[in-house]
């Protein structure tokens, strides 16, 4: 891939899991960002242990050569919580803007089961036409607000939410304006469809709308357990559904090729939440960095 177009980041969720704070509670913010830098990454997303004051956070990252590229934001448009979502979005956007980030990765969390004990394959929410309308309308508005700061909004399709499958991603992008982008996540698509072909088809179809990429690998045997035992999304994470690129079943070569051929410019973020007690975050960060260097040439 073209080194000038792409920057590499890693998410702190491998060190401390914001959805399950007991996973990695022993890993401090300073240790996390130091290990990211030591592993060879130049960017990070934002975790719950990160200071939220840019005056405090910036110097701690700059000394390690780390930039903030994005931070998760939950939207609740389908639930009708438009005013509250927009109000909170503006604060979140201003923080990211102060940190120099260009994209804001959002997930529509109305009816989401990702943080519940419900079976992730049995209870996935399905939006009504009205919920789709509210969601699209909300995202169109977020994109306009972000544009005023020179920033872009992207939707993170996610397991256990109303926008998870290729058909749902298609529908979301058809209903929204072109300035609403997609955060493409290899792991969530593969997990949803159990198919590398389906994962690549979404990438190929929507390349022009993708402005942020999560590189996440999957362990087939754990996904099979999640299906068979009707486990929740978080139970799967604890058992090791996800891992870093090069350690699971996904071949990332075609992913890198499609992005490179399309002239993708932006961040690629290794995001692989595991139990840090079972998967040492620093070791896995080094493993991911080595695989990307060998496979993408960056």
Per-residue pLDDT of the chain (298 residues; tens, 9 = 90+): 998 999 999 999 999 998 898 899 999 999 999 999 999 999 999 999 999 999 999 999 999 999 999 999 999 999 999 999 999 999 999 999 999 999 999 999 999 999 999 999 999 999 999 999 999 999 999 999 999 999 999 999 999 999 999 999 999 999 999 999 999 999 999 999 999 999 999 999 999 999 999 999 999 999 999 999 999 999 999 999 999 999 999 999 999 999 999 999 999 999 999 999 999 999 999 999 999 999 999 9
Cα distance between the two ends of the chain? 7
Q: Rounded to whole angstroms, how far apart are CA atoms 90 and 171? A: 26
- Are 8 and 298 in contact by the 8 Å Cβ rule? The answer is yes
pLDDT for 19 equals: 86
Q: Can you name the residues that pair with 210 across neighbouring β-strands? A: 182
Return the ∠ at Cα 199 (arms to 198 and 201), rounded to 5°. 60
CATH top-level class for 6-296? alpha beta
Return the ∠ at Cα 103 (arms to 124 and 84), rounded to 5°. 60
Domain boundaries, the chain: 6-296
CA 126 vs CA 154, 173, 202: distances in Å: 20, 16, 19
Whole-model pTM: value is: 0.97
Q: Rounded to whole angstroms, how far apart are CA atoms 61 and 291? A: 24
Q: Rounded to whole angstroms, how far apart are CA atoms 164 and 249? A: 20
- Size (the chain), residues: 298
Longest dimension (CA), the chain: 49
pLDDT for 18 equals: 86
Q: Rounded to whole angstroms, how far apart are CA atoms 35 and 15? A: 10
Q: Rounded to whole angstroms, how far apart are CA atoms 250 and 35? A: 25
Q: Decide: residue 97, CB within 10 A, 0-12 exposed, 13-18 middle, 19+ buried.
A: middle
pLDDT for 165 equals: 98
């Amino acid at each position: 891939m073209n080194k000038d177009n792409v920057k590499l980041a890693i998410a702190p969720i491998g060190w401390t899991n914001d959805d399950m704070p007991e996973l990695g509670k022993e890993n401090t913010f300073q240790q996390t960002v130091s290990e990211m830098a030591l592993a060879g990454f130049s960017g990070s997303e934002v975790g719950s242990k990160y200071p939220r004051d840019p005056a405090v956070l910036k110097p701690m990252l700059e000394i390690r050569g780390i930039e903030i590229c994005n931070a998760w934001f939950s939207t609740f448009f389908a639930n009708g919580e438009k005013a509250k979502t927009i109000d909170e979005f503006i604060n979140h956007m201003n923080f990211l803007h102060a940190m120099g980030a260009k994209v804001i990765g959002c997930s529509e969390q109305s009816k989401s089961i990702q943080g519940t004990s419900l079976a992730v394959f049995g209870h996935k929410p399905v939006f009504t036409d009205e919920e789709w309308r509210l969601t699209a309308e909300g995202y169109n508005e977020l994109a306009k607000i972000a544009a005023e700061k020179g920033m872009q909004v992207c939707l993170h399709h996610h397991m256990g939410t109303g926008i998870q499958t290729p058909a749902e991603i298609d529908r979301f992008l058809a209903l929204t304006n072109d300035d609403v982008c997609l955060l493409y996540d290899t792991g969530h698509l593969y997990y949803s469809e159990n198919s590398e072909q389906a994962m690549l088809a979404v990438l190929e179809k929507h390349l022009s709308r993708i402005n942020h990429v999560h590189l996440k690998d999957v362990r087939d045997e754990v996904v099979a357990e999640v299906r068979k035992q009707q486990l929740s999304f978080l139970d799967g994470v604890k058992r090791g559904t996800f891992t870093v690129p090069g350690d699971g079943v996904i071949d990332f070569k075609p992913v890198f090729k499609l992005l490179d051929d399309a002239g993708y410019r932006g961040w690629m973020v290794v995001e692989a939440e595991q139990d840090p007690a079972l998967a040492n975050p620093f070791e896995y960060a080094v493993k991911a960095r080595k695989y990307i260097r060998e496979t993408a040439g960056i």
